[in-house]
Amino acid sequence: MQIRFDGERVIVTGAGHGIGRGIARDFAALGAEVLALDVNAAGLAETKEGAAGSMTTATLDVTDPAAVRETVAGFGAASVLVHSAGGVRGQVGRPLEEITPEDWDAIVDVNMKGAFLMAQAVAPSMKAKARGRIVTISSGAGIGVSLTGIQAYAAAKAGEIGLTRQLAHELGPFGITVNSIAPGFVRSNPTTERQWDSYGADGQAKLVQGIFLRRTGTVEDISNMTLFLASSRAGWITGQVIQVNGGRA
Other C-beta atoms lying within 10 Å of the C-beta of residue 107: 24
How distant is the alpha carbon of residue 120 from its chain centre?
A: 16
Asked if 59 and 35 count as a contact pair (C-beta separation under 8 A), the reply is no
Catalytic residue chosen out of the listed positions 5, 27, 75, 153: 153
Q: Report d(CA 108, CA 100) in Å as an integer.
A: 13
Secondary structure class of 207 (helix, strand, coil): helix
Secondary structure class of 118 (helix, strand, coil): helix
Considering all CA atoms of the chain, what is the largest pairwise distance in Å, rounded to the nearest integer? 54
Q: Report d(CA 240, CA 135) in Å as an integer.
A: 10
199: annotated active-site residue:
no
Active-site residue list: 153
